[in-house]
Structure formats: C-alpha cells, structure tokens
Amino acid sequence: MQRRGVPWHEAMSKVAPKPLSLEEVKAWRTREAAAGRPSSYEEFCRVHALCVTCLGEGVSRNDNGVGFKVVGLDGDTRLFERCPVCGGTGKSPMP
C-alpha cells in the first residue's frame, strides 16, 4: 500500500531539475514582460514544460496557494501530498 504523503526530502528527490536558475527565471520573466508577453511564473512553467498545477515543485500547494499541503505525519516527519497531475515529477504531463 502506497503512503498518502511523502517526506519533504523524498518528495524533492523525485522532482526533475528546473531548466534555469532563479536568476535566469527572473531574467526570462523581465524580458517577456518588456516584450508585452505573459510573464508570470505559471507562464514560465507552461513554456518550459513544468507542471502548472504544482508550478514544477512536485507537491500540492495549500488551498490558499501559500506553502505545501501536509497530509499527515510519520512520527515527527511531516508528509506532503504528491501533485496529482504530474505524480511528483514537477514535469508537465502533456507531451
């Protein structure tokens, strides 16, 4: 039986690396905005084939969009819900 949630370190070990560094993402967003194109992080995820549901993180966000959804505990370790769309990879399920 699969656990409902995964510890943070395990969840992050399954996520595909981001295609750009934080500085490069900021530069991409700045260039897109200057060109009058959509420049949100959500748009960045679409363009770079990251899961838009979890914004490339592999775990579900809280309903209010702040932080990640904790679904239980394993002793003192918080368990986070894997993204139901990408299965925890952070990659877009669309080809």
Q: Give a yes or no: residue 94 inside a domain.
A: no
Separation CA 85–CA 64 (nearest Å): 18
Return the pLDDT at 93.
86
Q: What is the mean pLDDT of residues 79-94?
A: 92
Q: Give a yes or no: residue 65 inside a domain.
A: yes
Separation CA 59–CA 19 (nearest Å): 18
Listed residue (95, 89, 93, 94) closest to 16, CA to CA: 89
Q: Give a yes or no: residue 89 inside a domain.
A: no
63-73: per-residue pLDDT in tens?
A: 998 899 999 99
Give residue 13's domain range.
Answer: 5-81
Where does 3-94 show beta strands of DSSP type E?
A: 5-7, 70-74, 77-81
Residue 1: band (very low, low, confident or very high) from pLDDT cuts 50, 70, 90 = very low
Domain count, the chain: 1
| Percent of the chain residues past pLDDT 70, beyond the cut | 96
Q: Give a yes or no: residue 26 inside a domain.
A: yes
Is the pLDDT higher at 95 or at 82?
82
pTM passes above 0.85: no
Q: Give a yes or no: residue 66 inside a domain.
A: yes
Q: CA angle, 11 as apex, 78 and 1 as ends, to 5°?
A: 80
